[in-house]
Amino acid sequence: MPQQDPMNYSPRALRAKELFESGYNCCQATLIAFEDLTGLDRATSAKVASSFGGGIGRLREVCGTFTGLCMALGMIAGYEDPKDSTGKAEQYKKIQALAQRFKEDNGGSIICRELLGLQEQKSDPTPAARTSEYYRKRPCGELCAYATQILEDALAQSK
């Protein structure tokens, strides 16, 4: 579970959690929370991030909240020129620093199944029903808020 104090979450971070709790997947909720900075409208953000929930298509690989964070950072401060090796290195440096912070605060992992305490990769593509029990037993909403907050913090520090 994230080490960030929920009482210190920004309105944007709380919005990401609310978006998840309204039915968006974890990646969508995190990316959509930055729609004012990415320039993407909600529908585009939702479509772009739709395949990455549940650790990429419910495979339980890289956490969707971290993937959404990466997408948002790319849209906000990414490079465009494929020959911009300096821009690429800077972007990767930022992502690696965010991954390190995410890991430090979440049991050493950015992997969905590890964050959920699951033993195996999922093969069933059917998403779980969004019930009160679902939200009670999963850290995903909190992780949406957390990932959003650490990106927001990093963006503020880079100004």
pLDDT at position 58, please?
94
pLDDT tens track for 89-100: 999 999 999 999
Burial class of 147 by CB neighbour count within 10 A (0 to 12, 13 to 18, 19+): buried
Residue 119 pLDDT grade (very low, low, confident, very high; cuts 50, 70, 90): confident
Cα–Cα distances in angstroms (integers) from residue 79 to residues 28, 73, 84, 86, in the given order: 22, 10, 7, 9
| pTM for this entry | 0.94
Give the mean pLDDT of 39-46.
Answer: 98
Which residues, 6 or more positions from 48, have their beta carbon under 8 angstroms from its beta carbon? Answer: 31, 40, 71
Bridge partners, residue 62, by sequence = 111
pLDDT tens track for 60-83: 999 999 999 999 999 999 999 999
For 118-154, the DSSP string reads -SS-----PPPP--HHHHHH--HHHHHHHHHHHHHHH
